[in-house]
A and B are shown apart, each in its own frame.
Chain A
Amino acid sequence: MIASPDIQMITALLHDAAFKSLETPIEIGGIKFEIPAGLIGGDKSLDLVLIVDSISEDERRILRKIEGVARALDVAGSKRTLTTVISGPRPSATILEAMSKVSRVLPIGTVKAEDMRRSLENWLAVLLPLKIPDASPDTTAPAQELLNSANDLPGDIISLITIARDGKDAVAEAINDFIIESIGTDLDEEVFE
């Protein structure tokens, strides 16, 4: 079977993610299956990815094939997970549901040419590694960060940061006390008569 251009694109994407193509027809547990393309995951992956085309094949047939593959895997005692990528128009809901019982289904659907690559990426994302940008380098606790930024201030003011754990009233009381204390120095009682 000739892989359609879509299928080629899909395969290419998966190759980028360390998937390896299998020879067709795919043989599982001694049974051969006619499927347009199949790949298995890299070192840390037990994925088996099958790519089918709903244009070139009737959806019910596709379903039977997929079910067959699944059964073959079970018989062989395999721990592999099965993923089916359906290029072309999306099959009916019943078929999809039935297929979902034995396989992960990624019905890519028909997209416009210019959206093709992005749409593929979105669908296949689940198979592709996560691209995580660098996590924030800072893991200091917020309070510590504040302490660092305030370490030029007088000690009693800095202590307010810790006091803030007890709530805003504790903070207000503390700063008021500091201020009252500093007013109280150097003064005689009589000043406040």
Chain B
Amino acid sequence: MKPFLSHIEIENFRSIKGRVSVPLDAPVVLIHGHNGAGKTSLLSALELGLTGTVESLARLDSTFYEHLVHKSAAEGSVTVTAETSGGGKTANEVRVVNTQIIGRSLLTREQSHFFSERCYLAQSTLGRLLEIYERKEKKGESPLTKFVKDLLGLDQFDALLEGLHHIGDTRRIRAAIPEYAIIMDQIQESQAQVTDLQSSLKELETSANAVETSLNVKLASLGIYDSSSPEIAIRALESTNEEAQLQRYAGHRREIVVSREQLSSLRNRVSDDSRKRAEASLDAANAELLKWKLTGALEVAAYFDSLKALFPDHTAPEVIGYTEFLGQAIQRIESDIQRCDELSRSQTSFNVKLDDLFRTLRQLDARSFRIDEQIAQHSAQSSEMAVALANLLPHINSDNCPVCDRDFTEVKKGGLQSHVNRQVTALTKSADQLQALMQEKANATKSRGDFDRERAILQSQLISPEQAIELKARVFKLNTLLQRSSSLKDRCSEGDRIISASSAAARELASMRTADQSNEVLRESTRAIASRLHLDIAESEGLDSALSRLSTVVLQNEAVLIERQATRKEALEEARVLVENLATKKRLNDKLGAESLRLRKLKRSLKIADQKVSSARKLAKRTAAVKAEIVRRVFNDSLNSIWRDLFIRLAPDEQFVPAFAVPSGATRLVEAILETNYRNGEKGGNPKIMLSAGNLNTAALTLFVALHLSVNPEIRCLIIDDPVQSMDEVHIAQFAALLRTLSKQMRRQIIVAVHERALFEYLALELSPTFEGDKLITIQLSRATSDTTVAEYELIGWRPEFAIAAE
């Protein structure tokens, strides 16, 4: 068998300082080194070179890559040479610079996973295997579940199942994808709208039919037979109406009513007796009138003449009636008398006033004269003089006159200064007085002016003596006339009475004559009305009954027309309703079309989306099925039997054998249960409680080997890092035998690292080459004084045995 691994070269990786280069191309490689010498570093380097990462460390610490380079160096490297599936060796270098891993893995992804999970039993792997008996904590998965998942590479499956979980239920889809919920809701809405529109259209149809039926009936009754469309019907309905005819009949009706009124009023008048009486009274009235004209009228006329002399514009008595005339005349006379009296009276007072005014004026003139005299006495210049003298005063210091230089006392007694003072005072007083006088004069002049004006006014209001005489004469005439007025009163009222009686009588007679005429006229007009109605009046028929008959006919016709009019109106209404109905129908149809289209589009989109949903659900189902299948396939009876076999080899004394019990049925998540079987088949409990600590180790170790052996080996290699830490000697011996079997019978390359010298030598013995071509490599790891790692290796070949005599 060609070993899988050939060679490894390591530089400055983890605890390995410097360069280590060792062969690995033997069926069994044993590595020995004290704790810290670099055993685990070597095996980790192997993992890095093969898989591109160090899963065994990653399990313990996710930041493992920060500590891959030896602390004394900036970068480390690993070169692994191995047999690849293509046949032939491949060398693969992986470098670590700071925290970056640079380089590809030698194995494929699947192979790497196989290696890390089933070939390489690192310390961390063993620890994990021991944990799997732990129970599940409240949250999260149990270590066993995690172990199974890691082993089988099922994380992807669980990610798929959990990621697709919401697809399984429409409610969850709606919650996770708003657009999905929206489109579902919109489809519902749209569907509802379409249904609504359809039922609306149906309703419209039904009501339209009903209206159409009713309309047709009306149209028929109106004599319209072409009703192919409501518009045509409307045009036909509107083309004529009963208005004109109704108006004519209304006219006829009015005429008949008027005629009837006239007839009844005529009835009250026409009779011969009444006519005679009327004529007689007219004659009497006329006679009286004549008498009056010769007497009373003349009197009044004379009076009027006198009146006109005084009031030329007065109205004549005939015009306004005698009584009225007289009343107005009296009024006018009385007021005029009053006016004249007043005028006279005023003249007297005017004269008195005028005399007063003349006197006052004379007095004012005298005063003015005196003022002028006084003014003359004062000199106009006195004030100037006073000022000059006052100015001179300060210059007068003695009695010497500043002008002529003479001694003043020679002229008068009393000192010059006081004299000048006195002069100034006198002049000043004089000036004052002059001023006062001027003011007086002004006042006097003004007063005179006022009085003068008053005089002029009064004078203008005086009348001349001739005028006064005239006035008196007029007053006398007025009084005379007034006396005549009162005696005329009776005459006037008599005159009025007579005149009105006469005209009344004449009027009555005239109206009687008219009535006769009217009767004839009325009969004529009634006949005319009748003929317009296409009827006739017999000669013998009384007007009354004729008019009655005509009236009835008219009313009947009117009634028919009114009904027709109503029918026409209703029909028009219905026709219009139909037109509107058609318009609404079209509108709704259009809307229905659009909405239906939209609905189809929405449904189509949802369908496509649902197809995805259904496919996703299928995928989820298949994922669960495949997963369960994989789990079942691995954790099956064959695994259990291998495990059992191995466990018994190592712990032949143990009564309880651990096993997996996989629950049947495809569950979503993996839950494998560990149990123990009594050797005779009975079931025990969880191995943690059934097995001792040492045997738990053994169970873990054998499980690992069983897992390795239960599948086709991708990689025929088993690497074990210091596995026997808590094994007792019995187990170690069995373990060594097992390793031997794995190597010789199962043809796996075995690499084991141990720290105990004695164990190392025992294993070296146990795993010695047994046939020609068989090989064993031992590697000793140690540290030089400079802390550099030293790796010494030895290749041991086969030697024939001669110890036992029988050989």
The answer for the CA separation of A64 and B804 in the assembled complex, in Å, is: 19
Interface string of A56-92 (1 = CB under 8 A from B): 0000000000000000110011111101000000000
Within 8 Å by CB of B605, from A132, A146, A178, A185, lies: A185
Within 8 Å by CB of A129, from B634, B730, B733, B745, lies: B745
Nearest CB of chain A from residue B611's CB, rounded to whole Å: 8
Residues of A within 8 A of B733 (CB): 100, 104-105
Is B803 close to A, CB under 8 A?
Answer: yes
A183 near B619 (CB under 8 angstroms)? no
| A187-B601 contact given A142-B626, A176-B176, A182-B609, CB 8 Å threshold | yes
B770 near A168 (CB under 8 angstroms)? no
Within 8 Å by CB of A149, from B110, B179, B625, B642, lies: B625
Residues of A within 8 A of B156 (CB): 142-143, 161, 164-165
Within 8 Å by CB of B802, from A26, A76, A83, A191, lies: A76
Residues of A within 8 A of B625 (CB): 149
Q: How many contacting A-B pairs (Cβ < 8 A)?
A: 238
Residues of A within 8 A of B709 (CB): 130, 132, 135
Residues of B within 8 A of A138 (CB): 633
Is B159 close to A, CB under 8 A?
Answer: yes
Residues of B within 8 A of A192 (CB): 179, 182
Interface string of A105-127 (1 = CB under 8 A from B): 11000000000001000110111
The answer for the CA separation of A160 and B613 in the assembled complex, in Å, is: 13
Within 8 Å by CB of B729, from A100, A131, A145, lies: A100
Nearest CB of chain A from residue B677's CB, rounded to whole Å: 14
Is B616 close to A, CB under 8 A?
Answer: yes
Nearest CB of chain B from residue A136's CB, rounded to whole Å: 5
How big is chain B's contact interface, by range? 35 or more
A164 near B160 (CB under 8 angstroms)? yes
Residues of B within 8 A of A34 (CB): none
Is B263 close to A, CB under 8 A?
Answer: no
| A180-B803 contact given A100-B730, A125-B645, A133-B641, CB 8 Å threshold | no
The answer for the CA separation of A191 and B190 in the assembled complex, in Å, is: 11
Is A1 close to B, CB under 8 A?
Answer: no
| A187-B746 contact given A126-B649, A139-B712, A160-B616, CB 8 Å threshold | no
A182 near B167 (CB under 8 angstroms)? no
Is B438 close to A, CB under 8 A?
Answer: no
Chain A residue nearest in CB terms to B642 = A132
A146 near B613 (CB under 8 angstroms)? no
Residues of A within 8 A of B476 (CB): none
Is B171 close to A, CB under 8 A?
Answer: no
Within 8 Å by CB of B180, from A40, A154, A183, lies: A183
| A105-B730 contact given A125-B645, A145-B626, A149-B622, CB 8 Å threshold | yes
Chain A residue nearest in CB terms to B744 = A44
B806 near A22 (CB under 8 angstroms)? yes
Within 8 Å by CB of B613, from A100, A101, A130, A179, lies: A179
Nearest CB of chain B from residue A120's CB, rounded to whole Å: 10
Is A8 close to B, CB under 8 A?
Answer: no
Interface string of A171-190 (1 = CB under 8 A from B): 11011101110111111000
B605 near A186 (CB under 8 angstroms)? yes
Within 8 Å by CB of A130, from B162, B180, B741, lies: B741
B712 near A187 (CB under 8 angstroms)? no
B160 near A160 (CB under 8 angstroms)? yes
The answer for the CA separation of A23 and B799 in the assembled complex, in Å, is: 23
A23 near B806 (CB under 8 angstroms)? yes
The answer for the CA separation of A184 and B608 in the assembled complex, in Å, is: 10
The answer for the CA separation of A130 and B740 in the assembled complex, in Å, is: 11
Residues of A within 8 A of B627 (CB): 142
17 A–B pairs (Cβ distance < 8 Å), ordered by A: A26-B805, A27-B804, A40-B804, A46-B801, A76-B802, A76-B803, A83-B737, A130-B709, A142-B152, A142-B627, A153-B619, A164-B157, A165-B156, A167-B163, A168-B162, A175-B164, A182-B608
